[in-house]
């Protein structure tokens, strides 16, 4: 009798059994999906495989700031262009959203009634209106900018049109690499000096004007070298020729609309995260530091923010992931991101939906995992260290 049920009354066995069962059913489900898909694809004479990646795309892409793309290039290159455009709008969007979020989060806690209410209205509006509508709204506004023939010239060589913002393009001549080299050295030296100054302050209490030294090293020194070398840089100005401006640089309205919408939308969420982080620092901390005679800006920078960051970073990571994934809405305004180019046009022209979607999804997964990875490293570095 005992031998009949002793296996199931054993908790260890029981939990193992259920786990194996669940994993087995899951694997079976995946297997079933795969063979059904393969069978149906074959049945309907739909071509499969990866060779299409090396076929010429045959179409042109509207926006490719990093790679030179021609219609004779392959679908694989369409993919690269898409990934770079997705990364571009995600990266710039994350930076802008973070600045915006921190500023608004702090303003919302301000004692100034008008400021905090304004911030409140911004947050509630932006996080409660669907992102795609905000993207389209910004794009519609940008389309109302002057037409190309009526372009407004802001200052010499800078134009506003509904086809983008045009600016002069710097052309580097020989010798500019030295200026660039000095600039990089300046940055490295500044980092080293700030570490040294911090140690010295901890040891002796003496402060060192790190900010001014760094500015001198990073900006002034390269500038001096630049002029000593006889200004090895000229500008190519955009000129209206025929249908469009020729020369110069341009930022397209599709990018601007995506950038503005993504950063303003995500900034609203980040500001709430920042606010909750700041509120999580107990009032006693603030009062104690005030009692020590610290200036309010110092209290914020030295006492509140470092402690608040421990609460802020994990949800901030989620916001970065959201922003990156939301950049796939670029198709709404024709921004040539990964989903629009490779996951859209290539998919449609080749008809290989499954392959294109698998690659596109895997790419988003990779980007997200990489963001999480670095944010987790940062998160660990700011956690409270037991000494």
Partner 1 sequence: MKKLLSIVAVSVFALSANAGTLDDVKNRGFLKCGVTTGLAGFAAPDDSGNWTGLDVDMCRAVAAAVFGDSSKVEFTTTTGKSRFPTLASGEIDMLARNTTWTLSRDVNLGFEFVGVNFYDGQGFMVPTSLGVSSATELDGATVCIQTGTTTELNLADFFRANNIGYEALPIETNDEARENLFAGRCDVFTTDASGLSSTRAQSDNPNKWVVLPEIISKEPLGPLVRHGDHQWGDVVRWSLNTMIIAEEFGLTQANVDDNMNSNIPEVLRILGVEGGYGEMLELSNDFAYNIIKQIGNYSESYERNVGPDTPLAIGRGLNALWTDGGILYAPPFR
Query: From the list 104, 264, 345, 356, which residue makes contact with partner 1 (rule: CB under 8 A)?
Result: 345
Please say whether the beta carbons of 201 and 194 come within 8 A.
no
Q: Is residue 297 a contact residue for partner 1 (CB under 8 A)?
A: no
Q: Is residue 58 a contact residue for partner 1 (CB under 8 A)?
A: yes
Piece of 124-132, 187-195, 314-322, 336-344 that binds partner 1 (CB under 8 A): 336-344
Task: CB nearer to partner 1: give 35 or 302.
Answer: 35
Q: Is residue 349 a contact residue for partner 1 (CB under 8 A)?
A: yes
Piece of 54-62, 100-108, 170-178, 255-263 that binds partner 1 (CB under 8 A): 54-62
Query: From the list 16, 50, 60, 383, which residue makes contact with partner 1 (rule: CB under 8 A)?
Result: 60
Q: Is residue 332 a contact residue for partner 1 (CB under 8 A)?
A: yes
Q: Is residue 135 a contact residue for partner 1 (CB under 8 A)?
A: no
322 exposure class (CB count in 10 Å sphere: 0-12, 13-18, 19+): middle
Q: Is residue 356 a contact residue for partner 1 (CB under 8 A)?
A: no
Query: From the list 331, 368, 372, 379, which residue makes contact with partner 1 (rule: CB under 8 A)?
Result: 331
Q: Is residue 47 a contact residue for partner 1 (CB under 8 A)?
A: yes
Please say whether the beta carbons of 233 and 173 come within 8 A.
yes
Q: How far is the CB of 365 from partner 1 (least distance, A)?
A: 22
Q: Which helix (H) or strand (E) holds 71?
A: none
Q: Count CB neighbours of 127 within 10 A.
A: 16
Residue whose token pair is 């603030």: 286
Q: Count CB neighbours of 304 within 10 A.
A: 22
Structure tokens at 127: 């996080």
Q: How far is the CB of 35 from partner 1 (least distance, A)?
A: 6
Query: HSE-up of 205 (CA within 13 Å, CB side)?
Result: 0
Answer positive or negative: Cα dihedral of 192, 196, 199, 202. negative
Q: Is residue 91 a contact residue for partner 1 (CB under 8 A)?
A: no
User: Both ends of the chain: CA-CA distance in Å?
Assistant: 58
Give, as ranges, the residues between 22 and 41 that touch partner 1 (CB under 8 A).
31-32, 35-36, 39-40
Q: Is residue 315 a contact residue for partner 1 (CB under 8 A)?
A: no
Piece of 53-61, 180-188, 207-215, 319-327 that binds partner 1 (CB under 8 A): 53-61
Task: CB nearer to partner 1: give 148 or 375.
Answer: 148
Binding track, positions 231-260, relative to partner 1; x by CB under 8 A: ----------xxxx-x------x-------
158 exposure class (CB count in 10 Å sphere: 0-12, 13-18, 19+): middle
Task: CB nearer to partner 1: give 33 or 302.
Answer: 33
Structure tokens at 181: 């080299």
Angstrom CA distances, 378 to 2, 102, 181, 310, 313, stand at 55, 17, 28, 10, 8
Piece of 5-13, 277-285, 295-303, 334-342 that binds partner 1 (CB under 8 A): 334-342
Q: How far is the CB of 190 from partner 1 (least distance, A)?
A: 41
Query: From the list 24, 209, 306, 351, which residue makes contact with partner 1 (rule: CB under 8 A)?
Result: 351
Please say whether the beta carbons of 319 and 105 come within 8 A.
no
Q: Is residue 59 a contact residue for partner 1 (CB under 8 A)?
A: yes
| Residue 50 CA to its chain's centroid (Å) | 30
In this structure, what are the phi and psi dihedrals at residue 152, rounded to the nearest 5 degrees? -90, 130
Query: HSE-up of 364 (CA within 13 Å, CB side)?
Result: 19
In the structure, how many helices (H) and strands (E) does the chain have? 15, 8
Give, as ranges, the residues between 139 and 158 that touch partner 1 (CB under 8 A).
143-144, 147-148
Query: What are the residues binding partner 1 (CB under 8 A)?
Result: 31-32, 35-36, 39-40, 43-47, 58-62, 71-72, 143-144, 147-148, 162-163, 241-244, 246, 253, 331-332, 334, 336, 340, 344-345, 347-349, 351, 353
């Amino acid at each position: 009798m005992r031998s009949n049920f002793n296996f199931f009354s054993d908790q260890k066995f029981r939990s193992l059994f259920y786990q194996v069962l669940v994993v087995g059913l899951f694997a079976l489900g995946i297997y079933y999906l795969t063979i059904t898909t393969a069978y149906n694809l074959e049945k309907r004479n739909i071509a499969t495989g990866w060779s299409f990646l090396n076929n010429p795309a045959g179409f042109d892409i509207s926006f490719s700031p990093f790679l030179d793309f021609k219609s004779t290039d392959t679908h694989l290159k369409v993919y690269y262009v898409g990934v770079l455009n997705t990364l571009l709008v995600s990266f710039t969007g994350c930076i802008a959203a973070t600045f915006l979020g921190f500023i608004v989060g702090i303003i919302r806690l301000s004692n100034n009634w008008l400021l905090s209410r304004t911030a409140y209205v911004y947050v509630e509006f932006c996080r409660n209106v669907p992102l795609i509508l905000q993207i389209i709204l910004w794009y519609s506004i940008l389309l109302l900018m002057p037409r190309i023939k009526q372009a407004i010239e802001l200052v010499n060589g800078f134009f506003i049109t509904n086809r983008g913002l045009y600016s002069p393009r710097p052309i580097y001549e020989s010798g500019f690499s030295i200026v660039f080299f000095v600039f990089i050295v300046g940055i490295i030296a500044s980092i080293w000096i700030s570490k040294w100054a911090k140690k010295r302050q901890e040891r002796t209490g003496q402060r060192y004007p790190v900010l001014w030294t760094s500015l001198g090293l990073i900006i002034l020194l390269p500038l001096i070298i630049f002029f000593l070398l006889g200004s090895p840089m000229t500008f190519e100005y955009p000129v209206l020729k025929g249908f469009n401006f020729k020369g110069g640089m341009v930022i397209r309205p599709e990018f601007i609309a995506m950038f503005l919408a993504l950063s303003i939308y995500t900034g609203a969420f980040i500001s709430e995260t920042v606010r909750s982080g700041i509120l999580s620092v107990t009032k006693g901390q603030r009062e104690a530091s005030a009692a020590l005679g610290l200036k309010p800006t110092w209290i914020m920078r030295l006492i509140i923010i470092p402690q608040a960051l421990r609460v802020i970073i994990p949800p901030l990571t989620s916001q970065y992931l959201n922003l990156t994934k939301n950049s796939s809405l670029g198709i709404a305004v024709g921004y040539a991101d990964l989903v629009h180019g490779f996951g859209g046009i290539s998919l449609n022209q080749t008809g290989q939906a499954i392959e294109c979607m698998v690659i596109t999804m895997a790419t988003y997964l990779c980007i997200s995992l990489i963001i999480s990875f670095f944010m987790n490293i940062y998160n660990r570095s700011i956690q409270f260290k037991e000494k």
